[in-house]
Amino acid sequence: MATINEGIVIGGAGGAIAGITVWLVQYLHGKTNDFVDGKRIYKWLQKHTSDEPGKQFRSTRAIASWNNITEDRAKYLCSINDKIFMSTGANEDMWGIHTREDRPKVLI
């Protein structure tokens, strides 16, 4: 009788370890993809935006199209990246890396 209980405990422990391992691999895969895609978006924004008025932001659609990802994924990746800012101006759904404001700079 003791061998059956030992087998159940060993099987349960093995199953738990396998389940945790699968979850960990999926989690790390997702985080790695987020990092790689986020870095690619940031580099793209560096090339396609500038600190000049009117050229500071790009739309989610443009980011998604040029980086071959969905608009939802582009929006998510931009929102979790500390170096990418959403426009606070009149135009919604615009992202940039130079400033948070979508207004021309006033030179005094």
Q: Is residue 105 part of a domain?
A: no
Does residue 106 form part of some domain?
no
Hunting for tokens 């405990």 — which residue is that?
9
Of 70, 77, 72, 86, whose CA–CA distance to 41 is shortest? 77
Burial label, 10 (beta-carbon count in 10 A; 0-12, 13-18, 19+): exposed
What pTM, to 2 d.p., does this model score? 0.77
The answer to the question of residue 103 being in a domain is no
Q: Which two tokens stand for residue 20?
A: 């945790």
108 belongs to a structural domain = no
Domain around 25: 2-96
Check which CATH number belongs to the domain holding 89 and give it: 1.10.10
Q: Is the pLDDT of residue 105 over 80?
A: no
How large is the average pLDDT for residues 28-41? 97
CB 45 within 8 A of CB 63: yes
Number of domains in the chain: 1
Confidence check: pLDDT of 19 > 90: yes
Residue 101 lies in a domain: no
* Lookup: tokens for 46: 């560096």
